[in-house]
Amino acid sequence: MNMHSTKTLALTPLLSMAFVLTMLTCLGAGYAMGATGVYANLQQTHDSLLEQRDHLQRLQGQYSDQIAKLQQQLNLVGSYLSDNDRALRDIEEAMRNAR
């Protein structure tokens, strides 16, 4: 074996180890960046859901207010209808008595 071959053989384990360390470093960095990316996506989704929740709560409040106003109107119409029914009965009774 010549001297050049011996140096190459001696460097091969070091190059292999350097390659493995480089790959592990890249994988570790990729995992960290991936985990950070996943966290960032989760945070963005979380923030979007909070915004949507606030919007839905505002809508719920608006609809509750509208329902309360409509319920008041419905109660008022119901009261008028009851008054009308009483008046109608009174008139019908008066008509029967007038015969």
The per-residue pLDDT for 70 is 98
**b/e sequence 31-42, b meaning 16+ C-beta within 10 Å:** eeeeeeeeeeee
Q: What's this model's pTM, rounded to 2 decimal places? A: 0.53
The per-residue pLDDT for 46 is 96
What percentage of the chain reaches a pLDDT higher than 90?
Answer: 61
Look up residue 1 and give its DSSP letter. Answer: -
Lowest mean pLDDT across 22-31, 39-48, 71-80, 89-98: 22-31
For residue range 30-65, list pLDDT tens digits in order.
666 667 888 999 999 999 999 999 999 999 999 999
Look up residue 98 and give its DSSP letter. Answer: T
